[in-house]
Amino acid sequence: MHHSIHDEAHLSNRNHWLRAAVLGANDGLISTASLLVGVAAASISSQTLLLTGMAALTAGALSMAAGEYISVSSQADTEKADLDKELHELTHNAEHELNELTKIYETRGLDHVLAHQVAVALTQHDALEAHARDEIGLTDLSQAKPIHASVASGLSFIAGAILPIIGILLLPVQSLVWSLSSLTIVGLALLGIISARLGGAPVIPATARVVIWGVLAMVATSLIGRLFGVAAL
């Protein structure tokens, strides 16, 4: 039976999109719910709340996607600059780069002779790949992917923001502030569980972290929203 080089699936391979997705969903849920709780405290009509929520969802998703794209693009530019520098050094100072790679393998536990043999073999196979991986720390999995991160961030923001908006339509108007707050806490708990499952992390610590910090952020932003909401009337 044929086996691939890596039969086991490593959950850390998901890091390049999981971070953006969790951050986007968390931000979408907290920021939208906080805004709506603050505005709802000012006794605004349900129709106005719905329009406010949709505006927050649209603007937030676009802002999150654009911000993530710019951030990861900057990281990608830095990685490209490092690769260009390595390529220049390999072209103009190959012996020094070979010695540098040898020393890297020596620090990882190989004796000088074996480290040199490994460095020579990997240099002959793909010198730039060897230096990118072992000197800079870049691999195909870890390289910045702006489009992936941007899309994951924007869509996950929408997924998070849609929950409190649905709440406006389904929850009783008389207790909307407390109902939205409770719904948001439930959403934060679900987000913590999902992110823990996807990342292979312990569920309870991950969920507690998301809920606690999410509630603190929601309380702070909803107080500000309530203050300005009331003051605007």
User: Quick one: average pLDDT of 48-64?
Assistant: 91
18 has a pLDDT exceeding 50: yes
Model pLDDT, residue 13? 47
Contact 19, 71 (CB under 8 A): no
22 half-sphere exposure, CB direction, 13 A CA radius: 23
Predicted pLDDT at 58 = 94
Are 112 and 34 in contact by the 8 Å Cβ rule? The answer is no
Domain coordinates in residue numbering, the chain: 15-232
Q: What is the DSSP string of the chain?
A: ----S--SPPGGGGHHHHHHHHHHHHHHHHHHHHHHHHHHTTT--HHHHHHHHHHHHHHHHHHHHHHHHHHHHHHHHHHHHHHHHHHHHHHH-HHHHHHHHHHHHHHTT--HHHHHHHHHHHHHHHHHHHHIIIII---TTTS--HHHHHHHHHHHHHHHHHHHHHHHHHS-GGGHHHHHHHHHHHHHHHHHHHHHHHHT--HHHHHHHHHHHHHHHHHHHHHHHHHHHHHH-
Tell me what pLDDT residue 54 has. Answer: 93
Task: Say how far apart CA 121 and CA 196 lie, in whole Å.
Answer: 40
Task: Check whether 157 has a pLDDT greater than 80.
Answer: yes
Rounded to the nearest 10 degrees, the angle between the axes of helix 15-40 and helix 146-170 is: 30
Is the per-residue pLDDT at 124 higher than 60?
Answer: yes
pLDDT at position 222 over 80: no
pLDDT tens sequence across 160-177:
999 999 988 888 877 888
| Highest mean pLDDT, choosing among 111-120, 124-133, 158-167, 194-203 | 158-167
Lowest mean pLDDT among 17-21, 209-213, 229-233: 229-233
Q: Say if residues 76 and 68 touch (Cβ distance below 8 Å).
A: no
pTM score over 0.95? no
